[in-house]
Each structure stands twice: as structure tokens, then as C-alpha cells.
Amino acid sequence: MKKVLIPLVLFIGLVVFLAVGLKRDPREIPSPLIGKPAPHFTLFTLEGGDAKFSPSDMQGQVWMLNVWATWCVACREEHPVLVAFAEKNQVPIVGLSYKEIQPQDPAYKAPFDEKLQLARERSEVWLKRHGNPYVTSVMDMDGRVGINYGVYGVPETYVIDKAGVIRYKFVGAVSPALLAEKILPLIAELNKS
């Protein structure tokens, strides 16, 4: 009896171990930035002119940073969810327009001002068509701010607390279920403290 039981238990253990491994998403990489202050940046906003935005402008508020681009296919899937969420006015969402002008774009080699202008125009058209959930959007033209935030795929979403500390990061399209089950309770909790 024992002779059969021990290998069987070991085998089942191995199967469970491998099955759990199979189900895990290899794209889900834990961010080392959770619990750390949101990296500082100062970037031009989408709205135009010389207006700039910095995370310190949101000090004292719980807010969300959503990385997006008009060329990003998954963002299109995510966008209506964010628009509906923003209408409830529960938390300000700041957009980070990530590398709007891609290297393969003919305009990529244009001077910075021209590129920025083009990126703003494209983004504005896109937001007009799909709705604008952002209180403001900042233009990360060369993706440097993205690197500082550990962005490796668009869309990505961060929840940042009143003290400017990153509390949560999600890679991929945010779903209504994720908002309801994870993000909203977290925001409620962060708003209390």
C-alpha cells in the first residue's frame, strides 16, 4: 500500500505544481516600483502650449496614471471601460501618451516641436472619437518616463496614493471586473488614510 501511495502522492504534487505554473501568466512581472515614490517627471500636456505636468501636481490626491497611445490596439479595447469609469468621477485619471510617434513613422526624425505638434493632433482626434477619460494627458515622446515607470507594454495602469507612492500596477487592458474588484476597493482604502 505504502509503495503505491508515496509515488502517487509525489506524482500528484508534481502535477499540481506544473498545472499552477501553466496557468500563470508569464507576462505578469511583479513591479519593483510598488510601494516606492512615483518617479518624478515634467512633461508637456496634450492640451497644448507650454503647460507642463508633474506628478507632484497631484499631491494630496489618490490618482491613476494610464499609459496609452493611439497606435495601441489593446488601448482601444480598454478605452470605453476607462471612459465609463471616469464618468463616475471617483478618481482622477492622468494619461501618459507613450511614444505617440513611432520610429517607423516618417515624422519620427522631425524636430521635436513638430513631432510634439503632430502627436498632440493625433491624440486629440483619437480622444474626440473614443471619448476622453483623462483630466490631462502628458506627452512622453521618447518613452523615457515610460522607462522610469517600468513600462514594457501599453496599456499600463498605476494607482498612486496621496503621498505620491505607487500602490498598484496593472499591465494590459483594464476590465470592469478588475476596476470593481481590485482598483476601486484600493482607492477607497487609500482615500480613507
Partner 1 sequence: MKRVWMNGALNGVYALSVSMAIWFAPQTALAQATAASSGLTAGREAPLMAEDPKLEARLVDISQELRCLVCQNESLASSHAELADDLRREVRELIRSGKSDQEIKDFLVARYGDFVLYRPEVKPLTWVLWFGPFLLLVIAAVGLGMYLRQRRALAAPAVLSDEARERAKQLLKG
- Site of interaction with partner 1 (CB under 8 A): 26-27, 29-33, 99, 102-103, 142-144, 147-153
Which CB atom, from 48 or from 153, has the smaller least distance to partner 1? 153
What's the min distance (Å) between Cβ of 166 and partner 1? 12
Which CB atom, from 127 or from 171, has the smaller least distance to partner 1? 171
The edge-to-edge listing of strands for the beta sheet with 63-68 is 136-140, 93-98, 63-68, 156-160, 166-171
What's the min distance (Å) between Cβ of 83 and partner 1? 27
What's the min distance (Å) between Cβ of 115 and partner 1? 16
- Tell me how crowded residue 146 is: count the other CB atoms within 10 A of its CB: 18
What's the min distance (Å) between Cβ of 85 and partner 1? 27
Query: Do residues 48 and 174 make contact, with C-beta atoms less than 8 angstroms apart?
Result: no
Which CB atom, from 131 or from 150, has the smaller least distance to partner 1? 150
Which CB atom, from 79 or from 99, has the smaller least distance to partner 1? 99
Query: Do residues 34 and 150 make contact, with C-beta atoms less than 8 angstroms apart?
Result: no
Q: Write the DSSP assignment of 3-34 as a string of letters.
A: HHHHHHHHHHHHHHHHHHHHHS-TT----TTT
Which residue shows C-alpha cell 524636430?
111
